[in-house]
Amino acid sequence: MATTTLKGTPFDRQVLDSMLRRRLFYTPSFEIYNGTAGLYDYGPPGCALQANIIDLWRKHFVLEEDMLEVDCTALTPAEILKTSGHVDKFADWMCKDPKNGDIIRADHFVEEILESRLKGDKAARGVTVAAKEEDPKKKKKKTKGIAEAVKLEDAVVKEYEEVLAKIDNYNGEELGELIKKYELKNPATDVQPEPPVAFNLMFQTAIGPSSNAPGYLRPETAQGQFVNFAKLLEFNQQQMPFASASIGKSFRNEISPRSGLLRVREFLMAEIEHFVDPEGGKKHPRFHEVADIELVLLNKHTQLSGKTDLDKVTIGKAVADGTVDNETLGYFLARIHLFLKKIGVDQSKIRFRQHMANEMAHYAADCWDAELQTSYGWIECVGCADRSAYDLTVHAKKTGAPLFVRERLDKPITIEEWQIDLDKKKFGPFFKKDGKTIETAIEALSQEKREALAQDLKADGKITVDVEGVGNGKVEVSKDLIAIERRTRTENTREYTPNVIEPSFGIGRILYCLFEHNYWTRGSDGGDEARGVLSFPPTVAPTKVLLVPLSSNESFKPLVKDMSLKLRALGISSRVDDSSASIGKRYSRNDELGTPLGITIDFQSVKDKTFTLRDRDSTKQVRADEDSIFAAIRSLVDGSKVWADIEKELPVFEGQDLEAELPWSSTRDMVIYTDRILCAMPRHKEKFIAPAPKGLVHSMLRSTARRVGEL
């Protein structure tokens, strides 16, 4: 499906990208040194937009849900990420071209070539295909030899479509089989790449000058929240459930960074860890508030059948029929949807896709991605996973830290279990420096394992325990050091390890999607050049108000300064454009920056302290006194009102009798003022200087001519 702008016209990514870089929303890092792939800097409007998104995120989640925000270090000792599984499993599959040495991400390689063959099939059948926009620097290389108009058998088309629907579900071996089966070759060399191998995506480093303490730049913010769980629980007065939140930079050494801000090596994340009692079905006390919200879902069963059909259902129904695993997960999916809507995501370009088996970690109960449609296809911007109790469990097992919840029971319960007694006087001296590590491993044994070891101890007089990092990983413990017996105890408290629901937001990806979803052009009729507009909601727009003095007349300066100071005092960002360009041009270049509102200071303002307020999207204006204008701006910026509400409340401005109202102070002011209005009109001014002396322009011209004649 061809990508369109906000107004439904054909979308040109190169034009948008040029505008974003020209207006310094973002730029490649170290560009004067030819840059480094996957690294970008944000300029002033990009920083402001990102800051506003984060501010709204904090209000929507941290404030609304009483979350506990933490800021943890990005530099992480290797032991933590080894325990969490990142050292062994945080990898993508890559292939190497044996001819030129290119490193290719395997799933993207398969996806791109099969998609190109399907486009070639459509072209051969006479079906019009919208060309997929590529990075101009890579276009020739990527499309060479793979976009020919070749008709495929119907069965082959169906097979390709099924493979693409399941592309995220294949492991390395399966991707290698697909490459061989379909004879996929690197279009740059016409050579088939080598079999896929795993590539760990973390940046490794050393902590300290001795290099004896290996570390990594964190690939996510989550681990800092997990290792601080016990402290957060205590801070929360032992109350469950609760959530922590963290916003910070993460780092991933991407195999082939591409697609601008969508696949980078350093990026901002906002992550939530919601800790919940696993008993009782993971209910959420506020689920009823969102149960009727409709979401567009692509479930795993549809994908595994080779289809991409979407279902629009309420989250209440999706949880009730088991499509979404539990209420807490469903609650956050709905809250994610509301947040994305609030910041300006096009509601026709969003879906929630469920992870298939190979995508999901073995410990996860369910996982969904909020995907946004762009000119690059569907892009994962928010992940929402039920991580079960995995992270807290592995960290507790490794360290012996009490990463669990203890709560008092209303009624005592009797528990029959296998208990372990260690002879501490003998155990420590026998195992020496490894004693604590072995003791921690023994204490972490499950009831099933304890029962089996009790039988071994009785039969053999010793047991063998798996202890990572000690000897060959197996440790023998004799019966004179340990006893394992089945006992009954009465408990007045219950201990459990919470499960975790984790919404994880990629802020850079969301930010780029907002660019595409809010971009459109106007002014392309009648030969005029199309002018770009970014229709960000006022709540997240980088700058909220543009102050535009009509000219450089000295009488405007005190008003501009006063309004600028008052807007700052209200916490509303503004810019002054007092350049010599026409008013139309000044507004147009700030429309490119997404500035939603504009205040014009003119001679009428000097006379009676009234001002015009302009809406970016409709270009309509209202005129009122300063207090009314500020009240309107506040309500638009905080999202409590939209422009249609303001038009109903304040007088619409359509012009005025300048001859009667404006206190001309000089011939220069008259000429400037007339020129400002004419420059704001389309280029062909003669269309507006018609014989019939009607309208604002004619009135101004007559007035100017008369006064110049008098002078």
Q: How confident is the model at residue 143 (pLDDT cuts 50, 70, 90)?
A: very low
Q: How far apart are CA 251 and CA 613, in angstroms?
A: 44
In terms of Cα–Cα distance, which of 105, 125, 122 is closest to 161? 122
- DSSP per residue, 665-694: --HHHHHHHHHHHHHHS-S-GGGTS-SS--
Please say whether the beta carbons of 194 and 179 come within 8 A.
no
Helices and strands in the chain, H and E counts: 26, 28
Give exposure, 199-212, as e/b (b: 16+ Cβ within 10 Å): bbbbeeeeeeeeee
The burial class, CB within 10 Å (0-12 / 13-18 / 19+), for 593 is buried
- The CATH T-level fold of domain 411-492 is 3.30.720
Rounded to two decimals, the pTM is 0.79
Q: How far apart are CA 23 and CA 17, in angstroms?
A: 10
Cis peptide before 196 (omega within 30 of 0): no
Please say whether the beta carbons of 309 and 534 come within 8 A.
no
In terms of Cα–Cα distance, which of 389, 330, 335 is closest to 354? 330
End-to-end Cα distance, the chain? 64
- Give per-residue pLDDT as tens, 591-636: 999 999 999 999 999 999 999 999 999 999 999 999 999 999 999 9
**Residue 499: phi, psi to the nearest 5?**
-90, 160
Q: How confident is the model at residue 682 (pLDDT cuts 50, 70, 90)?
A: very low
The burial class, CB within 10 Å (0-12 / 13-18 / 19+), for 129 is middle
In terms of Cα–Cα distance, which of 491, 550, 43, 525 is closest to 261? 43
- Give residue limits of the domains in the chain: 91-136+144-200, 411-492, 543-649
Query: Would you call 523 helix, strand, or coil by DSSP?
Result: coil
Class of domain 543-649: alpha beta
Q: How far apart are CA 658 and CA 202, in angstroms?
A: 66
Tell me the C-alpha to C-alpha distance, in Å, between residue 421 and each of 229, 482, 578, 640: 28, 6, 81, 64
Residue 1: predicted pLDDT: 63
Query: What DSSP state is assigned to residue 25?
Result: S
Residue 633: predicted pLDDT: 97
Residue 40: predicted pLDDT: 96
Q: Which amino acid is at 540?
A: V
Query: What DSSP state is assigned to residue 341?
Result: H
Q: How confident is the model at residue 674 (pLDDT cuts 50, 70, 90)?
A: low
Q: Which residue has the higher pLDDT, 420 or 654?
A: 420
Please say whether the beta carbons of 292 and 314 come within 8 A.
yes
- The CATH T-level fold of domain 91-136+144-200 is Herpes Virus-1 (3.30.40)
CA atoms 281, 286, 292, 296: torsion sign? negative
Residue 659: predicted pLDDT: 38
Distance of CA 669 to the CA centre of its chain: 49
Tokens found for residue 666: 């000089």
- Give per-residue pLDDT as tens, 485-521: 999 988 888 899 999 999 999 999 999 999 999 999 9
**676-685 long-range Cβ contacts below 8 angstroms, 24+ apart:** 676/550, 676/551, 676/582, 676/583, 677/583, 678/582, 679/581, 679/582, 679/583, 679/584, 679/585, 680/582, 680/583, 680/584, 680/587, 681/584, 682/523, 682/526, 682/528, 683/526, 683/527, 683/528, 684/526, 684/527
pLDDT at position 190 over 50: yes
DSSP H or E stretch at residue 577: none
% of the chain surpassing 90 pLDDT: 67
